[in-house]
Amino acid sequence: MKALLFLVLSAILFCSCSSIDNGSLEDNRFVVLGPSLVELMYASGLGSRIVGVDRYSSFPEETGNLPQVGGYIDPSLEQIASLAPTSIHISGESPVLMELAATLGIPCYTYRFDTLADVFSSLDSLDARYGAEAADFRGEVQNKLDSLANEMQSTAPISVMIVIYHERGSSSMTVAGRSTFFADILSSVNCSISAPGTGCWPMISAEGVIDLSPDHIISLFPGRTDTAFIAASEENYFEGLGFEPARTHSLFEPYIMIPGGRIGRIAERICSCLL
């Protein structure tokens, strides 16, 4: 199978007449997989170097003009090779893509986005590797968080539960844990995440919510359009658990779970529920 793949890729490279020599060719043709990473690339002024993205990346609008190379789990290796990239950039780890990069003789860079520190580390890596505007954008994000922290000074330190999945009528839900970028955003504005002690995305029961007794509950429904119905349903559900409607909120922004170029907006929307 590997031999067949090598032959296919070799044929593609030969037909495209592309000479990929990272030592002599400027690294200016990126294939990027991961919505957060694609957003950060554009926010850092590197969007013009991107020649292919994964099927889930849709922001900014310019990504709609780029070839899609499949998903993180099922990338199209042939299509990636046909784009003659000078580097591959991925969120997380992918042995398949790293092997492809080795076959093409180009670097494969990996990034993480679990925590806010990961986001900053990714920006630092882009700045060290390419310069551009990565450091400036990092400063903008930090300034935004500092500004929000000042706005939040009027409130007492509060605990917040962020529900990332709750099926209507279900007595259990998945929440953001303590080792997530949501927890870090809350910490940066002098609040705290309300979650079980372990697990990045733990599932808890209604009894667990009551036991944790958060000051506010924010439920996330990215991209849903039946907003009024969902918001009312969530208010009724949590009111049945003893949380008055003023303490429960629903957010519908499609980017709310993507810690990329719009992470400042994510922080703003969370804080808007708490002021």
Instruction: DSSP for 181-193, please give it.
Output: HHHHHHHHTT-EE
pLDDT of residue 156: 73
User: Sign (positive/negative) of CA torsion 262, 77, 21, 12?
Assistant: negative
Band (267; pLDDT cuts 50, 70, 90): very high
The pLDDT score that the predictor gives to residue 261 is 96
Q: 2-133: what fold?
A: Rossmann fold (3.40.50)
Quick count: other Cβ atoms within 10 Å of Cβ 90?
A: 21
User: Do 2-133 and 156-274 show the same overall fold?
Assistant: yes
Query: Given a cut of 80, is residue 157 above it in pLDDT?
Result: yes
**Token pair 């929000």 is at which residue?**
148
Task: Give the count of alpha carbons within 13 A of 81, CB side only.
Answer: 26
Dihedral sign computed on CA atoms, order 106, 63, 111, 75: negative
Asked whether the predicted pLDDT for residue 120 surpasses 70, the reply is yes
Amino acid 1: pLDDT: 45
C-beta of residue 111 within 8 angstroms of C-beta of residue 118: yes
Distance CA 154, CA 181 (A): 23
pLDDT at 199: 87
- Choose which CATH entry (3.40.50.1100, 3.40.50.1980, 1.10.287.130, 3.40.50.920) describes domain 156-274: 3.40.50.1980
What percentage of the chain has pLDDT greater than the value 90? 84
pLDDT of residue 224: 92
Average pLDDT over residues 66-72: 94
Sole residue written with tokens 């690294």: 27
What is the reported pTM? 0.89
Q: Distance of CA 135 to CAs 65, 111, 122, 139, 216, Å?
A: 27, 16, 11, 6, 34
pLDDT given at position 168: 85
| Cα(240)–Cα(267) distance, integer angstroms | 28
Domain regions of the chain by residue span = 2-133, 156-274
The arithmetic mean of pLDDT across residues 170-175, rounded, is: 95
pLDDT digits (tens, 9 = 90+) for 10-68: 444 444 434 444 334 589 999 999 999 999 999 999 999 999 999 999 999 999 999 99
C-alpha gyration radius of the chain: 21
pLDDT at 72: 84
Single-letter amino acid code for the residue at 258: I
